[in-house]
Chain A
Amino acid sequence: MIRIHDVKLDVLNQERLVRRFEALARKGWRLNRVGDFFFHFKKAEPKDLHYYIDFNRVTPEYAETLKAMGYHHIDAWRTMHYYCSEKNLPPLDSDPMVMSMSVREFIDPKNIALILICAGIQIVYGWMLALPFEWYSFYTGTLQFVFSLSMYAIAFILILDAIGDLLIRHAFAKMSEGIPVHRNRLLFFLRMTSVIAGVLAAFLCVLLIVVDCQRPLVLLLDLAWILLLYVIRAVFNHKTGSIADQRNRYAFNLVLFLVLFGGDLIYLGLTRNISEQKIQTELTPYGSFADPNEYVVRTSPFLTITEFFDPAKGTYEEIIADCRNEKTAQVFFEGLVRNHAAMNVDGYFTLGNDLSVSLLPDEIWSFDQAVAEADLHEKKGDQEILKLQGRMYARKGTGVVCIHLPGKDEMDAVKYYLQDF
C-alpha cells in the first residue's frame, strides 16, 4: 500500500504521524519504505507496534546502541529516521531543546540557499527566454514562451519550498525558547503550498512530456539520464545499507536538475546553429516579399525562431520547397503575421541594399481589416497600396509590407518595391 506524504508536514506533525503508523500496524500494514513523496506499507500480521522518529545522523555506534535497545530501523529520508519496536520504549528525543537543534540541522540553511540559487537560475533562464515575447504569446503556443513560463513556475515551486523550510526552522527555534507557535496556521500554509506545488508540478510534467514528444531525441536523453541517476542512487543506497543517512538526495536532485537544464541548453544551442545555417544557405541577397526564405526574426540573445508558419498547415521544409506556391505562401504569411503580433520584434527586415519593410501593426490581424481601417486604398491587379495610421503598406501577391526607403518619399518607396504599380 502506498500513501502520499509531505516531509515538511511530517516534521511538524510527528506525533500524529506516529499514531497513524501505529493504527495502520494494528490493521496489518507496516511501514516499509520512505520515499520523497510516498510511504510504502507492506501487508503483515496485525500487531501493536510503536513507532519513533529521530533526526540524528546515524553513526555505527549509535546504530548498534539503538539495535541493542530494541529500536528497529525501517528507513530514512535524509537524516529523518523511522524506527519501530514491539516494546514500548522511551522516546528517542527526550529533550525538546535538543530536538529543535536536530530539526534545524535537518532543514539545513545551506540547502535552503541551494534551493534559492536554483530558483534564481530558473528566473534568469525564464527571463532570457521570455525577453522577446509579449505576455499574450502564450496563447499562440510559442514553444520558447511556454518554456519560459515553465521556468517561472519551477522557480515559484522552489521559492515556496524555501519559505516552508524557513518557517519550520523559525517555528522550532521559537518552540525551543518556549514561545508558543501558531501550529495550525503554519500547517495550513504548508498544506496549501504543497497543493499548489503539486498541481504546478503535475502540469509541468505533462508539459515536459508534450514538448519533449516533439523532440524525441531529447526526450530519450532526458529519460536515459534520469534512469541512470536513479540506478546510481539505488546502487549507492544498496551498498551503504538502508540505515545510511540519505544525504545524497539533495546532491542527487541538484545533479538531475543541472543535467536536465544543461541538456536543454545544449539542445537550444544546437537548434540555434541549425537554424542559422539554414537561413544562411537559403537566403538570397535580394528578392520579393513573397519569397519567405528571406526573413530572419531575431528573438532573444541566444535564440532564433524559424517557425513563422502555422505547423498545422505544413512543415517548414514543405514551405521552403514550395515557397512560390501562392497557397503555401499565404499560409506562411498568415503565420508570420500571427507570430509578429505575438512577438515583440521590431518588425523590420532588411531586404538587401537600403530597403526595409515591416509588417502590419500589432492590432491588425488581417489584410481585410487593414483595408477597412485604411485612409487610402488603391488596387492594381494583384497589387495594392494602402495608407494606415500614417504609414504606407503594399500588398504584392499575398504579402503585405510597410515600406521605408531612406531619403525617399514613402509612396515612391512603395512604387519602387512594387516596380510595375
Chain B
Amino acid sequence: MARKEFETLTPQMFYILLSLKEPHYGYEIMQKIEAATHGNLTVGAGTLYALLPKFLEEGYIRTAGEEKRRKLYVLTEDGKKKLKDEVKKLVKMTADYREVFGE
C-alpha cells in the first residue's frame, strides 16, 4: 500500500515522475521540469533527492544504470499507473468544476 504522503501527488512529485519517462539523473530531472513547465515550477535539489529514494522504495521508479558516476532513474509500470490515476483524479475534478461553473 502506498504511503500516506503519496496518496495524492503534489505538483513537484507529479512532474518528477513525469520527467522520468526516459532515464535521467538528478540534475537533468530538475532542468527538464523547469523546461517542461516553462519556468513555472522549480524543484529544489533537496526535494528531488528526498523523493528519489522514496519513489524507489514505493516502486514508482527504478535505477537504469549509471552515467559519469551519477545514477539514472526511469519510471516503472507502477509509476506509470500512479501518474495515470493522478491524471484521472485531475480530469474528474476538472469535469466537476465545469459542471458547476459551466466553463
Binding site for B on A (CB under 8 A): 54-56, 59-62, 64-66, 68-69, 71, 90-95, 97-99, 101-102, 176
Digit string of B1-17 for contact with A (CB within 8 Å is 1, else 0)?
00001000010110000
Q: How far is the CA of A216 from the CA of B2 in the complex (A)?
A: 58
| Total number of residue pairs linking A and B with CB closer than 8 Å | 69
Q: Quick one: given A54-B46, A62-B45, A90-B44, are A95 and B71 in contact (CB under 8 Å)?
A: no
CB-based contact A98/B69 at 8 Å: no
CB-based contact B71/A61 at 8 Å: yes
Q: How far is the CA of A102 from the CA of B46 in the complex (A)?
A: 9
Digit string of B25-66 for contact with A (CB within 8 Å is 1, else 0)?
111000000000000001111110111001000000000000
Residues on A with beta carbons closer than 8 Å to the beta carbon of B81:
none
CB-based contact A98/B26 at 8 Å: no
Residues on B with beta carbons closer than 8 Å to the beta carbon of A69:
27, 45
Residues on B with beta carbons closer than 8 Å to the beta carbon of A101:
5, 50, 54
User: Of B43, B50, B71, which is in contact with the most chain A CB atoms at under 10 Å from its CB?
Assistant: B50
Decide yes or no whether B21 CB sits under 8 A from chain A: no
Binding site for A on B (CB under 8 A): 5, 10, 12-13, 25-27, 42-47, 49-51, 54, 69-71
Residues on B with beta carbons closer than 8 Å to the beta carbon of A99:
46-47
Known: A92-B44, A93-B47. 4 other contacts (CB 8 A): A94-B42, A94-B47, A95-B13, A98-B10
Partner of A94, one of B26, B44, B54, B71: B44
List the A residue with the shortest CB-CB distance to B11. A95
Partner of A92, one of B5, B25, B45, B54: B45
Residues on B with beta carbons closer than 8 Å to the beta carbon of A91:
44, 46
Q: Quick one: given A59-B49, A62-B49, A101-B5, are A90 and B27 in contact (CB under 8 Å)?
A: no
Partner of A65, one of B13, B27, B51: B27
Residues on B with beta carbons closer than 8 Å to the beta carbon of A90:
42, 44
CB-based contact B27/A97 at 8 Å: no
Residues on A with beta carbons closer than 8 Å to the beta carbon of B26:
61-62, 65
Residues on A with beta carbons closer than 8 Å to the beta carbon of B47:
92-95, 98-99
CB-based contact A56/B70 at 8 Å: no
Residues on A with beta carbons closer than 8 Å to the beta carbon of B70:
61, 64
List the A residue with the shortest CB-CB distance to B51. A98
CB-based contact A98/B71 at 8 Å: no
Residues on A with beta carbons closer than 8 Å to the beta carbon of B13:
95, 97-98
Residues on B with beta carbons closer than 8 Å to the beta carbon of A65:
26-27, 45, 49
Q: Quick one: given A65-B27, A101-B5, A101-B54, are A92 and B71 in contact (CB under 8 Å)?
A: no
**Sample of 27 A–B contacts (CB below 8 Å):** A55-B46, A55-B50, A56-B49, A59-B49, A61-B70, A61-B71, A65-B26, A65-B27, A65-B45, A68-B27, A71-B45, A90-B42, A92-B46, A92-B47, A93-B46, A94-B12, A94-B43, A94-B44, A95-B12, A95-B13, A97-B5, A98-B10, A98-B12, A98-B13, A101-B54, A102-B46, A176-B5
Q: How far is the CA of A101 from the CA of B10 in the complex (A)?
A: 13
Residues on B with beta carbons closer than 8 Å to the beta carbon of A61:
25-26, 69-71
Residues on B with beta carbons closer than 8 Å to the beta carbon of A176:
5
Residues on A with beta carbons closer than 8 Å to the beta carbon of B44:
90-95
Q: How far is the CA of A102 from the CA of B5 in the complex (A)?
A: 12
Q: How far is the CA of A56 from the CA of B26 in the complex (A)?
A: 14
Cβ distance A80 to chain B, nearest Cβ, rounded Å: 12
List the B residue with the shortest CB-CB distance to A176. B5
Cβ distance A66 to chain B, nearest Cβ, rounded Å: 6
Cβ distance A311 to chain B, nearest Cβ, rounded Å: 60
Q: How far is the CA of A296 from the CA of B45 in the complex (A)?
A: 69
CB-based contact A102/B50 at 8 Å: yes
Q: How far is the CA of A91 from the CA of B70 in the complex (A)?
A: 22
Cβ distance A158 to chain B, nearest Cβ, rounded Å: 29
Q: How far is the CA of A60 from the CA of B25 in the complex (A)?
A: 13
Q: How far is the CA of A320 from the CA of B43 in the complex (A)?
A: 79
Q: How far is the CA of A92 from the CA of B49 in the complex (A)?
A: 10
Q: How far is the CA of A377 from the CA of B43 in the complex (A)?
A: 93
